[in-house]
Chain A
């Protein structure tokens, strides 16, 4: 009888997520990296165990078989004096890898502390590090290395120490930028205010965050160091012992007699360098992924099979548009890809906007407000799909419209106002040019006419000094002015409806009041407005109807006055009561425990059941329909009638309306 009475995913303690994958784990998920690591391991092991695996010593001559190709006795052939190539590769690997390791140690030991201190401390030290990096970049390292070798003849250790030293400022520079970024992070400030010493902060917070950058740099540098070592060998100034470099030098001397010699000596270097750079790329990608993995994983419960959901959606989807409505949304259901599967994120949304009417969609974050708005005119993010329901705009079903028709409607009849006014403008064009461009797009008028019209629009949105604003770039405008420019652009085509998605959230409250004045005037001029907001004050100021959304569903729809005074749905009640505007000092705010469940965690039945004080068994069995509770008022609650009594019995805060 009763369905699975599972709580929505508000109890993160319920399921133990596995430990987060660290960079190392993410790295090992990449086959190319695993192969590269294996190759490196084999090469290093061979070098380490050279005396065990090689049948010959590196200096063991076989004069009868000098400069021969591969054979059973000499697997990779022989070089000058019949020295075994395989033996020289593995023994030479020791020499080469050792000097490369030395270079790397010097590179890290100088570059990392310098970079981190410069980035973290800043000031004079930072300036010194930057300037010395500039100088080091200007010095050609091959020449310095050769000069060192001129002093310490055939001493590759000295040469590679010099090479590491010369590379270090470059590393310092990269690490510095990364450390500066981390320095600005709030958690570093929090650590400072916790009274942690700089050393602790660097080791705990800064170093781990820049480790990825360092590893990438080191893998590149190691590859360069190997090439440097071989270069020195090729020039004949390197070590006199067997090394990969001296082998290459020998191969090039005998290229006429035995070209084969170049294959093993060149091959090992190519393989080694390729392996290093593959690992470097892998680290970079894995580090990015580790940061991107910062998403809340659901405790693993799957969305309930949506048979019942689809059924109710289908019922309302069949409805016809309301007569005379500008916008009529019927049973709109949207899926978005989440964790690789199409997940219903908005379900069975139905509402109307009459011409010249302002309607507000209100709810907390994650309730599907913005997705609903973008689904109306075919602007869903990638992979999003309208799977059921219809959207009638002026009688035309937009879910059946072609992309071109949709584009035409979007451009000519719908104005968009976004939350972030400054970044929604293109930083390289002046405000005037951008609005004029929109005007031209819609009217096809001359440039001059478009410019004139843009100035008119600027005056219409009450920008002070329109001519000056028209010549300004977005970054020169304040948030309020940029939002006015955004509204001017939205008005360019004389739209029938403006969709305003949190248009004032980023603005100061006095500026918000100005923008509200403007939107109110537009509405009075006959433009319909669909306002998306979490702020009941904005809704009360501007809108005549409210559509309350919770976890992807409309839970209540009503004219504004009755809904704020006598909300029908328990969610609306709780939301309004928790508004500090209505709070009384000294009394706790009536709060709503828990959080909005994410779409994959929606329970069967009422989406609000997990937080609802009234939830009963019936709420958990099947999807709850949106039903009329009064003329023009709808609520998605099986207990809507009883809910009203609960509100009246609620002790605190319901009646308190501050005069302010």
Chain B
């Protein structure tokens, strides 16, 4: 890991109180990773993997039970709301739902200008100028500012959401399933826009998604989560193209590719994992119950994240490159 990454998530643990008699659900369990300036880290996992919770914890929308989140060297783990106002100038978010993330009764201009007006307190003329520029940057028509979100399609709304995030000129943007709700052709438009903005502004992204194809396309580093724990972490060409962890392998092999013969071959070669059996024991590897290669130790002892062939993987079946363990 680099000495001073822009974002440093260290041993993050987030718990939710379950409704009713109040058991605790550990949504995120000891997750660590870093994001350098201008870098894109893909956070992949299925439902319940805790990927969105990690984003929320960085944004201050979820309160970590343990661990530490650093941004540009400063500890923001339990950052109070007042300081969040300053942080909002550097960390922004694009949510999945392009229909729910904008107040339908405000115009696009009002939505995009909100942070400038109420957080930075800029004068009106300057706000107008920056809103016009931001909407132009994301490829929206000039008159978009005076119109309402309902008049736009899903892809256009996602552009509005991007404009709202970028108008603060942040260094770091969390994209929480930002393109998952979009059709292929529109998804490609938005992905291209995100890549272009990344190049122009040196943005760092945390790209949270369940779609391995998207993450493979856009990320430099990938973190694979299962049941709140990191299974595998490393450079995209290794993790996405030559995964070592059984779960990452299962995930990669499960996604069908748009070519019948290739898909038939993949299908035949696929390692079958057992169907998800709900929550597993607290002690061992969370994937043990579904893992085709699980051994006795997998059910009793949680594997540490260790270096293995250029990546970090948490699996008892892999012999680590060295004895060094990573938190």
Seen from chain A, the residues whose Cβ lies within 8 Å of a Cβ on chain B are 11-13, 16-17, 20, 185-187, 189-198, 200, 204-205, 208-209, 291, 293-297, 364-365, 464, 478-481, 508-514, 516, 534-541, 560-561, 564-565, 574-576, 578-583, 585, 588-593, 595-596, 657-660
Residues of A within 8 A of B264 (CB): 541
Residues of B within 8 A of A592 (CB): 185, 188-189
| Distance, CA A194 to CA B196, complexed state (A) | 23
Decide: B101 and A579 in contact? CB cutoff 8 A. Answer: no
Q: Is B187's CB within 8 Å of the partner chain A?
A: yes
| Distance, CA A89 to CA B101, complexed state (A) | 52
Decide: A575 and B184 in contact? CB cutoff 8 A. Answer: yes
Decide: A509 and B254 in contact? CB cutoff 8 A. Answer: yes
Decide: B46 and A508 in contact? CB cutoff 8 A. Answer: yes
Residues of B within 8 A of A513 (CB): 253-256, 270
Provide a sorted-by-A list of 21 A–B residue pairs whose CB atoms are within 8 angstroms: A186-B101, A189-B95, A190-B164, A193-B93, A195-B87, A196-B115, A296-B153, A365-B183, A464-B275, A509-B210, A510-B251, A534-B183, A537-B255, A537-B256, A537-B258, A540-B258, A575-B184, A579-B213, A582-B258, A591-B192, A657-B259
Residues of B within 8 A of A596 (CB): 183
Residues of A within 8 A of B270 (CB): 513
Of the candidates A295, A539, A541, the one whose C-beta lies within 8 Å of that of B267 is: A541
Decide: B85 and A197 in contact? CB cutoff 8 A. Answer: yes
Q: Is B18's CB within 8 Å of the partner chain A?
A: no
Q: Contacting chain A: which of B26-34, B123-131, B137-145, B315-323?
A: B137-145
Decide: B152 and A12 in contact? CB cutoff 8 A. Answer: yes
6 smallest CB-CB distances across A and B, nearest first, come from A195-B88, A537-B256, A13-B141, A536-B258, A578-B188, A591-B188
Task: Tell me which residues from 200 to 258 in chain B have a Cβ below 8 Å from any Cβ of chain A.
Answer: 210-214, 216-218, 236, 240-241, 250-258
Q: Is B281's CB within 8 Å of the partner chain A?
A: no
| Distance, CA A75 to CA B119, complexed state (A) | 62
Chain A minimum-CB-distance residue to B92: A193
Q: Is B147's CB within 8 Å of the partner chain A?
A: yes
Residues of B within 8 A of A17 (CB): 147, 151
Chain B minimum-CB-distance residue to A294: B150
B61, B153, B187, B277 — most chain A CB neighbours (10 Å): B153
Decide: A589 and B88 in contact? CB cutoff 8 A. Answer: no
Of the candidates B148, B195, B266, B277, the one whose C-beta lies within 8 Å of that of A588 is: B195
The size of the chain B interface, using a CB distance under 8 A, is 89
Overall SS of chain B's interface: helix
Decide: A564 and B260 in contact? CB cutoff 8 A. Answer: yes
Decide: B251 and A561 in contact? CB cutoff 8 A. Answer: no
- Per-residue CB contact flags for chain B residues 252-288 toward chain A (1 = under 8 Å, else 0) read 1111111111111011001001011110000000000
Of the candidates B153, B211, B216, B255, the one whose C-beta lies within 8 Å of that of A595 is: B153
Q: Is B106's CB within 8 Å of the partner chain A?
A: yes
Decide: A12 and B156 in contact? CB cutoff 8 A. Answer: yes
Decide: A511 and B119 in contact? CB cutoff 8 A. Answer: no
Residues of A within 8 A of B92 (CB): 193-194
Decide: B212 and A509 in contact? CB cutoff 8 A. Answer: yes
Decide: B100 and A187 in contact? CB cutoff 8 A. Answer: yes
Decide: A196 and B118 in contact? CB cutoff 8 A. Answer: yes
Known: A209-B103, A481-B275. 7 other contacts (CB 8 A): A11-B141, A365-B183, A478-B276, A564-B259, A596-B183, A657-B259, A658-B216
Closest chain-A Cβ to B314's Cβ sits at a distance in Å of: 18
Chain B minimum-CB-distance residue to A465: B277
Residues of B within 8 A of A190 (CB): 93, 95, 101-102, 161, 164
Chain A minimum-CB-distance residue to B94: A190
Task: Tell me which residues from 56 to 97 in chain B have a Cβ below 8 Å from any Cβ of chain A.
Answer: 59-61, 81, 84-89, 91-93, 95, 97
Closest chain-B Cβ to A491's Cβ sits at a distance in Å of: 18
Q: Is B304's CB within 8 Å of the partner chain A?
A: no
Residues of B within 8 A of A574 (CB): 185
Known: A294-B150, A580-B217. Is A534-B184 also a contact (CB below 8 A)? yes
Decide: A464 and B277 in contact? CB cutoff 8 A. Answer: yes
Closest chain-B Cβ to A546's Cβ sits at a distance in Å of: 10
Q: Is B168's CB within 8 Å of the partner chain A?
A: yes
Decide: B61 and A189 in contact? CB cutoff 8 A. Answer: yes
| Distance, CA A93 to CA B142, complexed state (A) | 53
Q: Is B155's CB within 8 Å of the partner chain A?
A: yes
| Distance, CA A114 to CA B241, complexed state (A) | 55
| Distance, CA A196 to CA B119, complexed state (A) | 6
A364, A576, A581 — most chain B CB neighbours (10 Å): A581
| Distance, CA A332 to CA B317, complexed state (A) | 56
Decide: A194 and B188 in contact? CB cutoff 8 A. Answer: no
Residues of B within 8 A of A196 (CB): 85, 114-115, 118-119
| Distance, CA A590 to CA B187, complexed state (A) | 11
Closest chain-B Cβ to A477's Cβ sits at a distance in Å of: 10
Residues of B within 8 A of A208 (CB): 105
Q: Is B47's CB within 8 Å of the partner chain A?
A: yes
Known: A189-B95, A193-B61, A364-B183. Is A541-B256 also a contact (CB below 8 A)? yes
Residues of A within 8 A of B217 (CB): 580, 583, 585, 589
| Distance, CA A17 to CA B147, complexed state (A) | 8
Residues of A within 8 A of B293 (CB): none
Decide: B188 and A509 in contact? CB cutoff 8 A. Answer: no
Residues of B within 8 A of A200 (CB): 118
Of the candidates A185, A295, A535, A564, the one whose C-beta lies within 8 Å of that of B150 is: A295
Residues of B within 8 A of A576 (CB): 258
